[in-house]
Structure 1
Amino acid sequence: MTIENIYRNRTMNEITEGDVGQTLKVAGWVENIRDHGGVSFIDLRDMYGVLQVVMRDTSLLDGITKEDCVSIEGIIEHRDEETYNPKIPTGTIELEAKTVEILGKVYKQIPFEIQTSKETREDVRLKYRYLDLRNKKVKDNMIFRSQVISYLRQKMTEMGFLEIQTPILCASSPEGARDYIVPSRKFKGKFYALPQAPQQYKQLLMVSGFDKYFQIAPCFRDEDARADRSPGEFYQLDFEMSFATQEDVFKIGEEVLSATFEKFAPEGAVVTQAPYPIISYKQAMLEFGTDKPDLRNPLRIIDLTDFFQRCTFKPFHGKTVRAINVHKKLSKGQHEKMLKFAQSIGMGGLGYLEILEDMSYKGPIDKFIPDDMKGEIAELAGLQPGDTIFFIADVEELAASFAGQIRVELGNRLDLNEKNAFRFCYINDFPMYEYDKESKKIIFTHNPFSMPQGGLEALNEKDPLDILAYQYDIVCNGIELSSGAVRNHDMKIMVKAFEIAGYTEDDLKEKFGALYNAFQFGAPPHAGMAPGVDRMIMLLRNEDNIREIIPFPMNGNAQDLMCGAPGEVTEQQLREVHIKVRQ
């Protein structure tokens, strides 16, 4: 039995010229009102499109204002040819209204024009996000998000992965970002945490014998916002595989990401094909000055430290010297702007040389390079007539960072970056440990559950700062999309790895008890990663801010301006969870 909808019998995308002469009922929001005296027009918008409604009986317009939610019944007719609107699918037809019913009245002044809401201040947009979402561009981002997530699920299932949901209330972890904690009512003084990631649970699933797991996982981290990071919560395509190596994970990552980006990227976009370039962390820091390189930028950084220790330019002596060769002559104004940028990021200056047609050099450093060494630097840097080479000198860590920022600025300022392209790479061979200057001790660099390269032998015999881990990131266009690792599934290796970072075996039992116990019952080798869904969609939609692709985002200060979170709770609620607020 078919039950007729009392509000509408067609959506806007279902109405065509074939319906001319039909009596139809439509429903939606009043986008525009145009009163032409004896006849009035409304642009009626629903989720699927816009239809022009003509009211020859102008009394039908009485009491109607923009953004009212209405149901209108009338006859579909052709528009006059001179009034065709080629911008919308229904641009050759209109509905002549016979009856109008107001379903939802606007009682307050609309805080912004819906069609131009993206030009409104962000705090106002977020406070009235339900209105902002009526904007076609904003709404289309959410539809696109749904389509991408649906495709990711389909793709992972086709590849043999089983979707399993892991808990939202879990135990607090001492590693990683700051937890969101949730007080327990039943257990006085004890707390749950919201998961920063399903890390331990997905590893426990591997111990349970599930071969390939995935989920679109919500993750919660009490971190400050950035343009590519939403505070509070985010979603990732989390997956884990048993009996898998780093290379096995790479193949899955390549297959799912290349397929997703090829399907959803803008028309004509170039997507990196498998296998992706694999760049070691050490190489990335040298060639790009960052472990998140944008491969659309053709510039590469070279190390000239040894060369300049043999020159007479004293400011470079005893320092790490990095250089960037640009196959372009810069104007005086461009040099001044680059110097200003260098100073803005903390550099004292920005040395350079220009390469003239006869391969002689012009610039402030030229006189400090002996004539018999000028051919050497040309060969080291691949210099050609017309090139400009920039020099960055500092302690190694700062030289790498400054060079990386100069590289990015040159790529942007000189318009060198490849257009309409998604360039992926893997960064691997991360250091297992680093020295923390504040605590004056050795700590884990990234994921403490990663397998050290060289296993127990490396942990026992090598300097901890020389040990590499089977850890890897996927980077696309300078954005870190994913981190992952081959997991440490061996109890003896895990105990030793944590011991180096200052944890006793008792600490391991207490803080990571589930994994510690589970790994004593035949844990398989396993590995995985977790590409960020929000960042994928942000890249595919070419949005600069991640909040543009999240339905109800917090603002940059981790506040929900729409619902008023975080907010106060009652004294009774606090008593029930045994909490007293300190002033």
Structure 2
Amino acid sequence: MYRTHSNGELNASHINTQVTLAGWVQKIRNKGFMIWVDLRDRYGITQLIFDEERTSKEVMEIASQLGREFVIQIDGTVIERESKNPNMPTGDIEILVKNITVLNKSLTPPFTIENETDGGEDLRMKYRYLDIRRKPVRENLVFRHKVTMAVRNYLSEKNFVEVETPYLIKSTPEGARDFVVPSRMNEGQFYALPQSPQTFKQLLMVGGMDKYFQIVKCFRDEDLRADRQPEFTQIDCEMAFVEQEDILNTFEGLTRHLLKEINGVGVSEFPRMTYDEAMRKYGNDKPDIRFGMEFGELNAATQHKDFNVFNQAELVVGIAVPGGNSFTRKEIDALIDWVKRPQIGAMGMVYCRYNEDGSFKSSVDKFYDQEDLQRWAAITGAKPGDLICVLSGEAHKVRSQLSALRMELAQRLGLRDPKVFAPLWVVDFPLLEWDEESQRYHAMHHPFTSPKPGQLELLETDPGAVKANAYDLVLNGNEIGGGSIRIHDKETQSLMFDYLGFTPQEAKAQFGFLMDAFQYGAPPHGGIAFGLDRLVAILGGQETIRDFIAFPKNNAGRDVMIDAPAPIDTAQLEELSLQLKIKD
């Protein structure tokens, strides 16, 4: 056998035991007459010792020629270590090597394979197989495995059945762009890779599966942003004979289970907030409620003086920054510059210091007196020692800008503690949203989401006011899951397609199979999908999902390790009846 023990399990109780170990050479310290080698595998590090008084010349010779990342196997005896290392599980012992075999030599790696490495992100992604040898990356992948197993175990105990659905499906026009796959046997026709298994899980409900889940890859050909992958993993779930309350209770249970099982944290409260309330209080639909700084709308308290910046604004809104009065003028000016960046887009920022003695000092004292500023403080909830930051402009834009500022300030003030978990349900989303470019409504979630009970008739008179029977689960300012109660009858689904601009012919061509299925006794059903990559990162105390994916792609959607995407040869193109467009 290659090994009798791993490199992380030996300790003082094994002294005088004969062992066989295998792994990679982490470090070498060669004193000539004595050589120490740190041997590493997935489980830890064990120190080897080669001593010319106790080790044969042949073995000493091989040891002297070892290099970093050589793969070796050794036989030896566990002995007590003279200079113990209390920071290592194996720090009380070392192995006096009797025999050594070099299983494979290694080039010098392009970066140091240690916890703290000298390799930049691009270099480590190019050599990801080496990066995985580092403990932080390896532990992240093991952590992902633990989360995945906890999900599977919980749902299985709740009578959910894991069912695989197809990867080669039909392209649909709603949502993000599909990745398409040409069919060789059906010339000129294409499959699409699924953005989600949405219609298939609904068909499983029609099929009577009752409770379904799947940990599944999904694909979206979207314009990429930092920390977004073109392929991602969902915990996809669906239940039949349920209402919204059933879904929320079931997946509150899953989230509680994960927080307790993985993080040892008990969470009792899952507050609920409507979409409208979230936008009014926090400027976005996934607010981080670990800290305050709720928005205070200041139109009535600001638009009565001669300050035209506020008078001409659709919305004047502010937040109270706890302890912010301690900011220097230089720090405040830097905040103003921060909100004026193109990524945020604000024209500027008005601020007001709330002094410990109860007085105020603002950047617009020329226009507003102490009584006015006292009203600002009351509306924003400011206390002595705080700083009030105020933005103004078009309501939609200014809410988004202030939301970004709120999160940035919380980060700077250390209010986003990764060890604190604050879940939140956001409910009552709009069913439809107006798209200026296409001049029509689009489904805010997807076209299979049902309206809230009693609101279907509003589609005729005020479609923008219809609320969806939909819900998002937010954790620490990140959407980790979202879902809805689905439409389950053909007539309502046809009506929804009509309001989304589908002709009857288009609806039948795209989704006729689903509407046909609804005619065969489709039960009421609903579900939710969690983003596994994001969920694992948050549970792991981070927000960078790439750190928890074995082989991630970069911000341009490229796999720099295998150099994909890549051209295919002409013969393949001809076989697929495709022609390559030649650029000038």
TM-score by length of 1: 0.93
1:142–1:551 CA contact under 8 A, matched in 2: yes
1:505 deviates by 2.2
Q: How does 1:188-199 map to 2 (within 5 A)?
A: 188-199=187-198
Segment of structure 1 superposing worse, 509-518 or 541-550: 541-550
Gaps of 5+ in 2: none
1:556 deviates by 1.5
2:294–2:380 CA contact under 8 A, matched in 1: no
| 1:573/1:325 CA distance change after superposition, 3 Å | same
2:490–2:516 CA contact under 8 A, matched in 1: no
Partner residue of 1:273 out of 268, 277, 294: 268
1:200 deviates by 0.6
1:527 aligns with 2:526: yes
1:569 deviates by 1.8
Post-superposition Cα deviations, 1:114-159, rounded to whole Å, max 9, x if no partner, equal 1157541222111111111111111111111111111110011011
d(CA) in 2 for partners of 1:253, 1:302: 32
d(CA) in 2 for partners of 1:371, 1:15: 71
Partner residue of 2:47 out of 46, 52, 55: 52
1:74–1:97 CA contact under 8 A, matched in 2: yes
1:62 deviates by 4.2
1:32 deviates by 0.9
SS at match of 1:365: coil
1:93 aligns with 2:93: yes
Which amino acid counterpart does residue 88 of structure 2 have in structure 1?
A: I
Match of 2:238 in 1: 240
1:577 deviates by 1.7
Which amino acid counterpart does residue 577 of structure 2 have in structure 1?
A: H
SS at match of 1:146: helix
1:289–1:404 CA contact under 8 A, matched in 2: yes
d(CA) in 1 for partners of 2:448, 2:117: 43
Which amino acid counterpart does residue 335 of structure 1 have in structure 2?
A: I
2:218–2:231 CA contact under 8 A, matched in 1: yes
1:320–1:393 CA contact under 8 A, matched in 2: yes
Q: How does 1:426-445 map to 2 (within 5 A)?
A: 426-445=425-444
Match of 1:333 in 2: 330
d(CA) in 2 for partners of 1:109, 1:377: 63
1:394 deviates by 0.5
SS at match of 1:250: helix
2:217–2:233 CA contact under 8 A, matched in 1: yes
Post-superposition Cα deviations, 1:44-74, rounded to whole Å, max 9, x if no partner, equal 1122111111112322414321111111011
1:525 deviates by 0.9
Partner residue of 1:28 out of 23, 27, 44: 23
d(CA) in 1 for partners of 2:236, 2:117: 32
| 1:360/1:110 CA distance change after superposition, 3 Å | closer
d(CA) in 2 for partners of 1:371, 1:109: 68
2:351–2:362 CA contact under 8 A, matched in 1: yes
Q: How does 1:160-309 map to 2 (within 5 A)?
A: 160-230=159-229, 232-265=230-263, 272-274=267-269, 276-309=270-303
Segment of structure 1 superposing worse, 256-265 or 177-186: 256-265
| 1:177/1:460 CA distance change after superposition, 3 Å | closer
| 1:247/1:87 CA distance change after superposition, 3 Å | same
d(CA) in 1 for partners of 2:569, 2:579: 11
Post-superposition Cα deviations, 1:321-365, rounded to whole Å, max 9, x if no partner, equal 111123432332332222121222222221122234564432133
1:195–1:220 CA contact under 8 A, matched in 2: yes
1:15 deviates by 2.6
1:29 deviates by 0.8
1:68 aligns with 2:70: yes
| 1:367/1:271 CA distance change after superposition, 3 Å | farther
1:416 deviates by 3.6
d(CA) in 1 for partners of 2:272, 2:21: 55
Q: How does 1:120-519 map to 2 (within 5 A)?
A: 120-230=119-229, 232-265=230-263, 272-274=267-269, 276-318=270-312, 319-328=314-323, 329=325, 330-344=327-341, 345-356=344-355, 359-369=358-368, 376-418=375-417, 420-454=419-453, 457-519=456-518
d(CA) in 1 for partners of 2:254, 2:466: 31
SS at match of 2:254: helix
Segment of structure 1 superposing worse, 359-368 or 422-431: 359-368
Match of 2:5 in 1: 10
1:423 deviates by 1.2
| 1:208/1:88 CA distance change after superposition, 3 Å | same
Q: Kindly report structure 1 stretches of 4+ aligned residues shifted beyond 6 Å.
A: none
SS at match of 1:109: coil
2:431–2:468 CA contact under 8 A, matched in 1: yes
| 1:76/1:519 CA distance change after superposition, 3 Å | same
d(CA) in 2 for partners of 1:343, 1:272: 38
d(CA) in 2 for partners of 1:546, 1:117: 19
d(CA) in 2 for partners of 1:560, 1:117: 24
Which amino acid counterpart does residue 78 of structure 1 have in structure 2?
A: E
d(CA) in 2 for partners of 1:432, 1:337: 40
SS at match of 1:285: helix
TM-score by length of 2: 0.93
Post-superposition Cα deviations, 1:237-277, rounded to whole Å, max 9, x if no partner, equal 11001111111111122111121122222x7xx55424x11
1:224–1:558 CA contact under 8 A, matched in 2: no
1:577 aligns with 2:576: yes
Segment of structure 1 superposing worse, 206-215 or 291-300: 291-300
Post-superposition Cα deviations, 1:68-105, rounded to whole Å, max 9, x if no partner, equal 1111011111112xx11112111111111111111111
1:485 deviates by 0.8
1:353–1:389 CA contact under 8 A, matched in 2: yes
| 1:100/1:496 CA distance change after superposition, 3 Å | same
Which amino acid counterpart does residue 293 of structure 1 have in structure 2?
A: P
d(CA) in 2 for partners of 1:516, 1:506: 13
| 1:96/1:243 CA distance change after superposition, 3 Å | same
d(CA) in 2 for partners of 1:548, 1:419: 16
- TM-align CA RMSD: 2.0
d(CA) in 1 for partners of 2:178, 2:391: 39
d(CA) in 1 for partners of 2:34, 2:468: 73
Segment of structure 1 superposing worse, 17-26 or 83-92: 17-26
d(CA) in 1 for partners of 2:90, 2:320: 55
Post-superposition Cα deviations, 1:506-531, rounded to whole Å, max 9, x if no partner, equal 21111112211111111111111111
Q: What percent identity do the matched residue pairs reach?
A: 38
| 1:385/1:46 CA distance change after superposition, 3 Å | closer
Which amino acid counterpart does residue 306 of structure 1 have in structure 2?
A: A
1:297–1:418 CA contact under 8 A, matched in 2: no
Which amino acid counterpart does residue 468 of structure 1 have in structure 2?
A: K
Gaps of 5+ in 1: none
SS at match of 1:260: helix
1:279 deviates by 1.3
d(CA) in 1 for partners of 2:28, 2:572: 49
